[in-house]
Structure 1
Amino acid sequence: MSVRVAQGGADRQALCVCTMALDELVAAIAGVLRDAGVGAETRLCCALSGGVDSVVLFEALRRLQPALGFALSAAHVHHGLSPHADAWAQACARRCAEAGVVLTRLDVAVERNHPQGLEAAARAARHRALETVDCDWLVFAHHQDDQAETLLFRLLRGSGVRGAAAMRAVVAGGDGRPGRLRPLLGVRRARIEAWARHRGLDWVEDESNAELHFARNAIRHRLLPVASELFPGAVPALARAAAHFAEAEDLLGELAAIDVAACGGPMLDRRSFLALAPARQANLLRWLLQRRGQPAPAQAVLDEALRQLRACALEHALQLPLGALACCAYRNAMWLEPQAAPLPARQRWQGEPLIVWGNAAVRFESAVGQGLDRARLECAAELWLGARKDGMRLQVAPGRPRRPLRKLCQEAAIPEWLRDRLPVLWVDDEPAWVGCIGIDAAFACPAGEAGILPRWQPASAA
């Protein structure tokens, strides 16, 4: 769309209408920024690819910066997949230099054999790199056509409600990660291109966008045109559907939070969990995984985990993999914990304050009248951290008999899969301390004497 100089009254009116529509794009961006609480001293980083969408977003943010007072920077991800990648990076650098905006270039290596394909690998590498940028909000140029494509792509892959919610305009950050803003999500691609032409902007074209062997490109160039021909309002309708799915996801999240509280979470009461309807059980586990930053598992994996939870007696211990985390159940407790990391080989301990052990670490703290007798340890020929041995016994209190570690673990409600992972401090081939169990009475620190207190907390629902 081009805008020509108006001569007559009708032309002036048409130009006025066109300009108002173009100004609405900036107003839409401003509305999303205000909804996110962007204001003075907020640090925004524009994800600048050099394509028309990100160039328009960048220029619109520049126009809004004086009024809203935020600090603006930009970041360009260099994938190295195109022979033109260097030229794109240079174009972004020139644009930012002319605008006086700091640009961060992020070079990434894309996994060529990614199980979900090159397109997904590039997207994952891009987002990992962008999350390292020091800012409050990353700002992306995804628009309404992108939203429609994303919804169709995910529905065709069998996504649930969370996946069908597609992208959100405002996603808060957390755990040191910046939030994400998509202020163009309600704007059509055609309006963005019209704004760029009206402003005389230049941009780069990614030739891979025309390659139909990429699933998203095929949806964009083949599926959506047919849908739009049959239903002229297809793209806005799909975007509205994504918004409805987002509302449904929020409601499912509220329901999961209610169910977690009713089950005494995050360490869940297993009987209370099993009393929930099957759909609520599945929803609760998906929500807990999402809260830990993990994707929902495949439906077959989740179904099998729930089947075993329902079928096994409470006294039967379970450790059910759900991706990077496992759903664990022992007696009447249920929780999520990281999949077990490989245990180290036998390690000499020479007084260092920390030794990594599995998913956690053993810390050794100085104490008085507590823990292990420091003098006894200093007289030992060898100190090392290792695993338990068959038939191992421990005297947990003076005057009491040495008892099998297996019995002590049962009394301490330590599930079977964790028992082989308990760290043991061996002193001249004698067990002096076992994680989660305690200190052998023969090595206990006398009152008032210098001691060393070992601490180990296994990964759990925390």
Structure 2
Amino acid sequence: MIPPNTYSADRVVLDALGVALSGVPHDARIAIAYSGGLDSSVLLDAAVRVAGAARCVALHVHHGLSANADAWAEHAAARAASLGVAFDAMRVDVPRSSGTGIEASARERRYDALETLCARHGATMLWLAQHADDQAETVLLQLLRGSGIAGLAAMAPRHRPAASSVERVRPLLHLLRAQLERYAAERGLAWIDDESNADTRYARNALRVDVLPALAVHFPGFRDALGRAAQHAAAAQRLLDDLAALDLGAAARDDGRALSRAALVALDDARGANLLRYWMRSLGLPGASAARLANMMRQLRDAQDAHALRVDHAGQRLRLYRDAVCWEAGDSADPRDDDVVAARGVATCAWDGQEVWHLPAWRGTYVFALAAPGGADALPEAALRGAPLAVRAREGGERMRTSPGGSGRTLKNLFQEQGVPAWQRDVPLLYAGDRLLYVPRLGVNRDGAATGGDAPVGARWRRIEWRPDLLIA
């Protein structure tokens, strides 16, 4: 029981955590992001008092960016032990030349690690220690970077990222750092100080050290004002998301994995960009800049055929086929399609029962798995042993039968009939000698001469499958 005359900062902090805890199942595990600094030390101490040590787990991410990182991890483990709280830590490697800046890279790695640790401990709720001063810094940074409404909305009190089972909760978001300092002093807490927080080469530190103190002199209520601005931006963003959800419902194809180009370009540029941004987020893709979204809209309006569109983003490229706009793996670092085809020769293999044939030039593997006789995409082994296997690029005019006794048709017509986009037709054709056996995306050539249709009873059969490298476990 907490005495009613407890110091006011103590009461404010505990009340904030009580609100965050309300409605949470009594047996739910609560993960605390615990760096060992002032803010997270206050959060962990108060969480234990409000929720109980048994329900909490302190999670520490070791970035390795400071010579003191080992000591910080030891401090965090010791402090958790003194509170009777379960503790876990994870080391991460932060790239120093990722193009997004070391701050952004460290933040991305930290959240990835925290998600992994939450899953390890069965926690579906992650408490973070950001407070009102952090929110003010974030809003100012986003303003100075020219961010849109989503950026100005800054940090939400509660948020579950797309494709995540962990809800991020910020119980201290409406409290000032000064209130946390008073709580820590009253409780006699010990914490570590990250020396990099004083390095004003980092934008956030420059705001904290040089700008915010000057703002406080002339605009003492700036933290509350910027917090309200973030709330207004968040409300506006929700309305934009509602509009985008309506537009996505009208434009979605293939369960949302593609958009109708006609429906998309019928929107004006601003509304189309809003839909693209929302759609990309629903697919788990990183957000794109306003300039890149504008480029997407421009190319979609101007494209005359499938090859006229190519926008690269975050390891994916935007593609257009017929009326469908979709993403596929690959970016501008990859060779252009024509260059790749020209660099490939004819690969051969004297097949003798092996299950895989890796083809680096094609970035994939042919798999020959045991199968029941006559199964889909299956051939008797005699068809594979009869002549050296060869992989060749399409030259045009190749024909195959998709059913026994059916008429031979060109691969071009079959690809069109199956709706295979033009850029996905660059596949390795599998031959036995000069006989076409198998075509990825179309299947086995059901020509009796090619497939060994007269195979004896008891013959072993193999199912053929083409797997791009990205799908190989």
Determine what percentage of the aligned residue pairs are the same residue. 37
Q: Which runs of structure 2 are paired with 1:16-165 in the superposition (5 Å)?
A: 19-34=7-22, 37-66=23-52, 71-133=55-117, 134=120, 135-165=123-153
TM-score by length of 2: 0.82
What does residue 224 of structure 2 align with? 236
Structure 1 residues not aligned, in runs of 5+: 1-14
2:438 to 415, 433, 444: 433
1:394 to 394, 399, 403: 399
Following superposition, the deviation at residue 424 of structure 1 comes to 3.1
Matched, 1:326 2:317: yes
Contact 1:47 1:138 in 2 (8 A): yes
Distance 1:358 1:311, change over 3 A: same
Contact 1:32 1:183 in 2 (8 A): yes
Contact 1:262 1:272 in 2 (8 A): yes
Paired with 1:382 and 1:100, the residues of 2 have a C-alpha distance of 67
Which range moved further: 185-194 or 227-236?
Answer: 227-236
CA RMSD of aligned residues (A): 3.4
Contact 1:289 1:296 in 2 (8 A): yes
Paired with 2:366 and 2:204, the residues of 1 have a C-alpha distance of 44
What does residue 194 of structure 1 align with? 182
What does residue 11 of structure 1 align with? none
Paired with 2:271 and 2:310, the residues of 1 have a C-alpha distance of 20
Contact 1:368 1:447 in 2 (8 A): no
Q: Which runs of structure 2 are paired with 1:197-208 in the superposition (5 Å)?
A: 197-208=185-196
Matched, 1:283 2:274: yes
Contact 2:9 2:182 in 1 (8 A): no
Following superposition, the deviation at residue 451 of structure 1 comes to 5.4
1:209 to 197, 214, 231: 197
Paired with 2:60 and 2:404, the residues of 1 have a C-alpha distance of 65
Matched, 1:167 2:158: no
Structure 2 residues not aligned, in runs of 5+: none
What does residue 298 of structure 1 align with? 289
- Aligned to 2:56, what secondary structure does the other structure show? strand
TM-score by length of 1: 0.84
2:420 to 414, 424, 448: 414
Q: Which amino acid aligns with 2:430?
A: L
Following superposition, the deviation at residue 186 of structure 1 comes to 1.4
Q: Which amino acid aligns with 2:136?
A: A
Following superposition, the deviation at residue 17 of structure 1 comes to 6.8
Deviations 1:58-80 (A, max 9, x none): 011101224xx972111222223
Contact 1:424 1:434 in 2 (8 A): yes
Which range moved further: 214-223 or 163-172?
Answer: 163-172
- Aligned to 1:131, what secondary structure does the other structure show? helix
Which range moved further: 214-223 or 320-329?
Answer: 320-329
Contact 2:430 2:437 in 1 (8 A): yes
Which range moved further: 270-279 or 402-411?
Answer: 402-411
Q: Which amino acid aligns with 1:27?
A: D
Distance 1:90 1:307, change over 3 A: same
Paired with 2:328 and 2:414, the residues of 1 have a C-alpha distance of 22
Which range moved further: 272-281 or 113-122?
Answer: 113-122
Paired with 1:146 and 1:120, the residues of 2 have a C-alpha distance of 15
